[in-house]
Amino acid sequence: MTEKDEKRIKELVSELNAYAYAYYVKDDPVVADVVYDRLYDELVRLERETGYRPDDSPTRRVGGEPIKEFTSHEHITRLYSLDKCQSFDELRAWDKKIRASLESVEYTLEYKLDGLTMVLTYDGGKLALASTRGNGVTGEVVTEQVKTIKSVPLSIPHTGRVEVKGECIMRRSAFKKYNERASEPLKNPRNGAAGAIRNLDPKVTASRNLDIIFYDVNYSDEYIPTQKAGVEWLKENLFKTEKLFLSKDIEEIIAEIDKVDRDGLDFDIDGMVIKVNSADARETLGYTDKFPRWAMAYKFPAEETTTKLLDVVWQVGRTGKLTPLALLKPVELCGATVRKATLNNYNDVLRKKVRLGSTVFIRRSNDVIPEILSAVEGTGDSEVPLPEVCPSCSTPLVTVGAHIFCPNDKGCKPQIVSKLAHFVSKDCMDVDGLSEKTLSLFYDELGVRTPSALYDLTADDLIGLDSFKDKKADNIITALSKSKTPSLASFINALGIRGVGKKLASDLAEIYGDIDGLRKASVEELTGIEDVGEVVAQCIADYFKEKGGEVDELLGKGVTPRLPQKATGNFSGQLVVLTGTLDEMPRSKAIKLIEERGGKVGSSVTKQTTLLVAGRDAGSKLAKAEKLGIKTISESEFLALINA
């Protein structure tokens, strides 16, 4: 190996690790995938040709040969479990005990991640060993498995010996993507992470696309005085962490816990962890045989349980697609009694080995209706039958890919009522007072079959219906009249074109400006629009070819979509990029405010970017903007522009 080759390999390792850190830890990519891939391929070639492969080379992440068995490892410092509580009163009682021993106290609040606790040892700036928590004293060595996790640094700036703690998780998005293609679906993200780490083949670990979020320094040859400092140290040494909340008031901590949106996270949490934020105070409080006295885990209600599947019924949706709905033996989950759960399609039923009478794992899904994750193997009486005719109108079903459809879109009641419900919904024509139950009544009693027929209704038609009085009838007719001037985007969304949702409807309205322009668009032209593939483009073209009369009927009833107006304001003509953490508002709100004031928001810094808003901990995007001479403002300056 030449000195030139060795130098180039080290350069590539350093460069690729920096790009991976920006992408996987900072969530702030600095190069396109094609650039990363080109450099990675060069590194693979050089390592193969020279036989030289540094310990922190990104090529070590793909997973090597299966290992024969796990070996044990004794942690430098024992890992304790956490004491738990399930009510705010219990948390207040714990706070009272703490204050009885300390003159003053500050707490940290962090997510209690639902994954697998990991302990990583670094020595000389390199990852020396990774192990599971085990019994808190001894764990299993899983170094090769952990090396496949792209958010784990293989080398860090600190060159001494240090042991760090983190939680290995499988993000919900990765779990969903994995299960969509897996022949053997995972039961939940936690099992997905644990099974991958404890698999003897690192290539299996790599396939799960795991992540580790670090939260504490278990041992260091340098003194780290507080948990806050520990997290700051972790960040400085390239570890991925989550935001901490600090407060001296337990009521502020409780209020913050109460605001946690579990559904808004891309990972599972089963509670929040409250810790005393002082090494000296922790030493004063000490430990019991099992727990540190200075920490408490507040546990949320369980999101997963098991119950018996009693039956499966098939529901017909707006597009005619049939979806299996599981009827369950009632069970308590997240404070509610659950009697139903979703399954995606018949392939999902087969893949998850669901049978009538099975014991099934169910999981809370966005606080609405749970999803069946899998069935306990060997349980159940008989297979779930696949329907041959529509359960509503008895029309023979058709199969398209993994789904089955009722083709009777003109005479199948559930399809028609669902289309009407979509048409009047808030993101469409926004008609108050028309629930699916009311629309079903209109279908049965008034013969309403199309959206345009709603505009033929009179108050006299409604008064004779069950539970309709004069005021209710008048209110609905008034709401229908007011709905005749929707935005063009809402109108396009209301048509129910397959593949066109709220966002795409908005994009189409902005691009075409009126409904006639969209009607004339060719498939080739539509596929040139971002996020519009050939299938969706064909669906749009087919709708106007086959059902254009529905649009004419609506226009004939006085429906007049409002054409989009260009937003104006102090961001007009600006292409704005946001980077770093905004403390005063969620990023989604900032994007909305920019767009309302005439600007557009980009995801990466390019020569076309005109303004960069740099929040706290701004990273590589700020450096790139400065290099390109792009105007940069702070969050406070951004707020001043918003409020101007």
- Please state at what angle helix 189-197 crosses helix 172-181, rounded to 10 degrees: 80
Using DSSP bridges, classify how beta strands 336-342 and 295-299 pair: parallel, antiparallel or unpaired. Answer: unpaired
For residues 557 and 452, give the distance between their C-alpha atoms in angstroms, rounded to a whole number: 7
Query: Do residues 63 and 201 lie in contact, with contact meaning Cβ atoms separated by under 8 Å?
Result: yes
Query: Do residues 438 and 503 lie in contact, with contact meaning Cβ atoms separated by under 8 Å?
Result: no
- CB neighbourhood size of 152 (10 A): 25
Query: Do residues 204 and 196 lie in contact, with contact meaning Cβ atoms separated by under 8 Å?
Result: yes
Half-sphere exposure of 629 (CA within 13 A, CB side): 0
For residues 28 and 26, give the distance between their C-alpha atoms in angstroms, rounded to a whole number: 5
Which alpha helices (DSSP H) does 315-373 contain, by range?
346-351
- Active-site residues, by number, are 112
For residues 190 and 301, give the distance between their C-alpha atoms in angstroms, rounded to a whole number: 16
The DSSP bridge partners found for residue 269 are 113
Half-sphere exposure of 293 (CA within 13 A, CB side): 17
**DSSP secondary structure, 154-172, as one string:** SB-S--S-EEEEEEEE--H
Query: Do residues 79 and 287 lie in contact, with contact meaning Cβ atoms separated by under 8 Å?
Result: no
For residues 644 and 641, give the distance between their C-alpha atoms in angstroms, rounded to a whole number: 5
Query: Do residues 216 and 165 lie in contact, with contact meaning Cβ atoms separated by under 8 Å?
Result: yes
Q: Which of 372, 334, 502 is nearest to 426 (CA)?
A: 502
Dihedral through CA 34, CA 39, CA 45, CA 46, nearest 10?
A: 180
**DSSP secondary structure, 67-88, as one string:** PS---EEE-SSPPP---EESSH
Q: Which helix or strand (DSSP H or E) is residue 126 part of?
A: strand 126-132
Q: In one letter, which amino acid is 603?
A: S
Q: In one letter, which amino acid is 377?
A: E
